[in-house]
Chains A and B, each alone.
Chain A
Amino acid sequence: MPVRLIFKYLNVLRSTINAISMSFEIREIVESAGTNLPSLFDFVSFGVLWKEGPHLYLYQEESCPPSFTQEVVKNMISVISILGEEPMDVNQVSLHVEKRKLKSKQVFMDPEATLKSHLTLPLAAEGEISGCISLNSEQPNAFDAQDLQFFSVIGYQMAATLKHFQRFSSIKNIAIYDTLTNLYNRRYFEERLGVEVQKAFHTGAFLSLVMVDIDHFKRVNDTLGHPMGDKVLCEIGSVLKNSVRKKDTVARYGGEEFILILPDANLEAAFMIAERIRRMIEKTPFEIGQAQINMTVSIGISNFPSHQARSKEELVKWADQALYEAKGGGRNRVCVFDSTKR
């Protein structure tokens, strides 16, 4: 291999390792690895299978047809079974598949494609197999020794980062979750938005930001007391959490403000989610002590690339401006940022 090419690969490897080690949770690791790996290997799908109690989670490239996913799962489970102390019964585990757009280029897979070759490596923490990572191809003999060498470096880094996650999970919880609502906190939101914005800018994928503010929240605190205000915040937080997709991030932005990151959501999809949230909160009677009260929220939306944001700060600023519009327009409404008012 020419020296120049080796240096190119080493650079990709270095940035992949860096991105993995900066991750805060498994899906970030998957995305960091998934977005960088296509520069190193020729493969159709990258997957991570992760075991947590009786649950198995598979994170995989979204272009994989269901039959291909099934084969990949079967293969990864057989690897875990062969390596682990006890065989794993596919029928005894509940499998959750989360598909993500990992490659920058749109990939179209033959719906009839079958798994012809793979590289699979175990992920272990404290000597226990907790999952595995896999590169898959519908071509036979798609990988060689050099691919395995690069992939094992990535596998090693992923395993090391996961080990850190387990060791520091309690510290991580304090660092990334809001202690009152159990939603992500603002610090985590900033980190997560950075990752999502980078990905959207790189791939051209949609990214929406939804800012939610509880209307007249001060009145609740002033009339019913702060503990009741806290209860409202928790309940609205849980409505938000239950109204979004798995891949979305819901965070408490501060005070009575919440913020949602919606990857791969265009303006229409983001508006639909925001409207659903607004209606659900409007309809929900919040039980405060003996009384029931009704609450409403105002919502602002910004979107990439529709609003041509050049940074994550602009995206936040414009969601905030849209929220301001919603407040000014009489509250209990959803407003999309108006680019002409930039």
Chain B
Amino acid sequence: MVSPGKEGKKEKWSADLVLDLYSDLLGEIWEIVSALLGETILSLIFILAIKKLGDKYPFLSSVKVSEEGISLQELRENCRTMAPVEIHRGFQGLINHLFHLFSVLAEGVISRELFPKVLPKVREAERIISQR
């Protein structure tokens, strides 16, 4: 996984930067929630969430989900020419939908574990992107 800093100070408002930010975020969500739900159920939830948002953000279908985790490798190859803001919106939609699903499934149980660790990063990602 590539951290945003690795690309150097002259980072551009690029698709790669957005993908790096969301790769980190999704990885963090995966780590926390898989400890609660297990990899099998969580991968199913991710797959269903991506399917649900597929009409609105077709590029999300290149996100590969398995019981091992999430890979954005294929997506990285496919969406170099995409507008970063579009990628950002797609992932924002995905994360919001996942949070909604978690809350529907287990009310506050997942959110209590997830939000303190992930919400600051979501905000930070949004801040970085909004500055570009």
Contacts and interface: CB of A to CB of B under 8 A. Distances in A.
Interface string B25-64: 0000000000111101100110110011000000000000
A149 B110 CA distance: 10
Contacts of A147: 109
Nearest to B39: A156
A155 B100 CA distance: 20
Interface string A62-79: 000000000000000011
A205 interface: no
A129 B40 CA distance: 13
A141 interface: yes
Contacts of B45: 83, 122
Contacts of B15: none
A78 B104 contact: yes
A21 to B, nearest CB: 15
B107 interface: yes
Contact of B110 (A82, A124, A148, A153): A148
Interface stretch (A9-17, A40-48, A112-120): A112-120
A127 interface: yes
Contacts of A120: 104-106
Contact of A145 (B52, B105, B113): B113
A143 interface: yes
A152 interface: yes
A32 to B, nearest CB: 19
A229 interface: no
B118 interface: no
Given A83-B101, A85-B51, A122-B45, A148 B108 contact: no
Contacts of A145: 36, 109, 112-113
Size range of the chain B interface in the assembly: 20 to 34
Nearest to A118: B107
A274 interface: no
Interface string A119-154: 111101001010000000000010111011100110
Contact of A156 (B40, B48, B51, B113): B40
A79 B41 contact: no
Contacts of B35: 149
Contact of A152 (B36, B47, B113): B36
A155 B52 CA distance: 22
Given A82-B104, A117-B107, A148 B37 contact: yes
A141 B108 contact: yes
Contacts of B38: 152-153, 156
A329 to B, nearest CB: 58
A84 interface: yes
Nearest to A147: B109
Contact of A119 (B48, B109, B112): B109
20 contacts: A79-B104, A83-B45, A84-B48, A85-B52, A119-B106, A120-B105, A120-B106, A122-B41, A143-B107, A143-B109, A145-B36, A145-B113, A148-B36, A148-B109, A149-B35, A152-B36, A153-B38, A156-B38, A156-B40, A159-B40
Q: Give the 9 A-B residue pairs with the shortest CB-CB distance, closest first.
A: A152-B37, A152-B38, A148-B36, A148-B109, A83-B48, A119-B106, A120-B105, A124-B44, A156-B40
